[in-house]
Structure 1
Amino acid sequence: MIRWLIKYVVIFVVLVLIQVLFLNQMQISGYLNPYIYILFVMLLPLSAPRYIVLLSGFLIGLTVDIFSNSLGLHAAATVFIAYIRPFIIRSISDREEEINDYPGLKQNKFSWFLYYSAVMVFFHHFILFYLEIFSFTQFFSTLLRVVLSSLLSVFVIVLSQFLIFRE
């Protein structure tokens, strides 16, 4: 239990530091904003109680909000993906397919993890960017921003699974 807690505290701190110190400074032409901190919610064990997942999503989103001065936008988007995570996992997993308790790339098929990442990241970015704009007047430009940022974020998340998270 303590080993599990220490592991996730380290992942939390590292992802927040990477997001705040490096990735928040990297805005490519206003459309590409990579967000890797949501990987924390995505990698929580499937057996984790739902309130732990929701609370973890809130805490990491709030931490990024504090450093980004974004007034709860990241917390709202991260809690949303923490809430829909079980539904997404059930919808993308076959009944006969055996899903590991840890939803990482090494423990599951590449196609499963890629689809899981793409769906989670898209929902996160959709909520985040539309809450940020809080209007549908620029719907298509915001949707373009969601799609492009989602592609970059999924690329960075999958790359991090190959390079860092080799559990």
Structure 2
Amino acid sequence: MLQVLIKYITMFVVLVLMQVLVFNQVQFSGYVNPFIYILFILLLPLSTPHYLLLFLGFFIGLTIDAFSNSLGIHAAATVFIAFIRPFVIRSISNREEDRSEYPGLKQNKFSWFLYYTFIMVFIHHFILFYLEFFTFSHFFTTFLRVILSSVFSIFVIVLSQFLIFRE
């Protein structure tokens, strides 16, 4: 139990540091902003209680907000994906036996993990960018940002599963 707790605390710290020190500095023409810190929520065990999932989503989002000076938009987007995560996992898994306790790439099929990551990252980015602008006047420009940032974030998340988070 202690070993698992240390693993997730380390993952939290590493993802926040990578997001703040590296990925917040990456911007291609203002359209591509990768957000990999949501990998923490994506990789929590399926048996994580819903209240803890929401709290951890709020905590990691608030931590990124504090470092990014972004007034709670990361917390809102991350809490929302933490809220819908159980529903998304139930909807993309055919049977109870198909689900692994750990939703990582090694424990599940590549197509399942890619679909799961795509849904969660796209929803997170959609909420994040539209809360950031708080208007639909530039809907298509913002939607292009959502798509490009989602593609880049998904690429980095899947790559991290091959290189770093091989459990």
Provide the rounded CA distance (Å) in 2 between the counterparts of 1:70 and 1:15. Answer: 18
Provide the rounded CA distance (Å) in 2 between the counterparts of 1:38 and 1:138. Answer: 25
Deviation at residue 4 of structure 1 after TM alignment: 1.3
Give 1:54's aligned residue: 54
1:135-154 aligned at under 5 Å gives the runs 135-154=135-154
Match status 1:127 vs 2:127 = yes
In structure 2, list runs of 5 or more residues that go unmatched.
none
One-letter amino acid of the counterpart of residue 40, structure 1: F
**Residue 98 of structure 2: SS of its match in structure 1?**
coil
Provide the rounded CA distance (Å) in 1 between the counterparts of 2:96 and 2:124. Answer: 28
Deviation at residue 21 of structure 1 after TM alignment: 0.0
Provide the rounded CA distance (Å) in 2 between the counterparts of 1:7 and 1:53. Answer: 16
Runs (4 or more) in structure 1 with deviation over 2 Å come to: none
Provide the rounded CA distance (Å) in 1 between the counterparts of 2:166 and 2:96. Answer: 25
Give 1:31's aligned residue: 31
Give 1:13's aligned residue: 13
One-letter amino acid of the counterpart of residue 147, structure 2: V
Give 1:40's aligned residue: 40
Q: Deviations over 1:99-157 (max 9, x none)?
A: 10000000000000000000000000000000000000000100010001000000000
1:95-110 aligned at under 5 Å gives the runs 95=95, 98-110=98-110
Provide the rounded CA distance (Å) in 2 between the counterparts of 1:80 and 1:70. Answer: 17
One-letter amino acid of the counterpart of residue 109, structure 2: K
Give 1:159's aligned residue: 159
Provide the rounded CA distance (Å) in 1 between the counterparts of 2:64 and 2:128. Answer: 12
Question: Taking every aligned residue pair, what percent have the same amino acid on both sides?
Answer: 72
In structure 1, list runs of 5 or more residues that go unmatched.
none
Decide whether aligned partners of structure 1 residues 129 and 106 sit closer, same or farther in structure 2, where only a CA change above 3 A counts: same
Deviation at residue 96 of structure 1 after TM alignment: 6.4
Aligned length: 167
Provide the rounded CA distance (Å) in 2 between the counterparts of 1:119 and 1:24. Answer: 22
Query: What TM-score, normalized to structure 2?
Result: 0.98
Give 1:93's aligned residue: 93
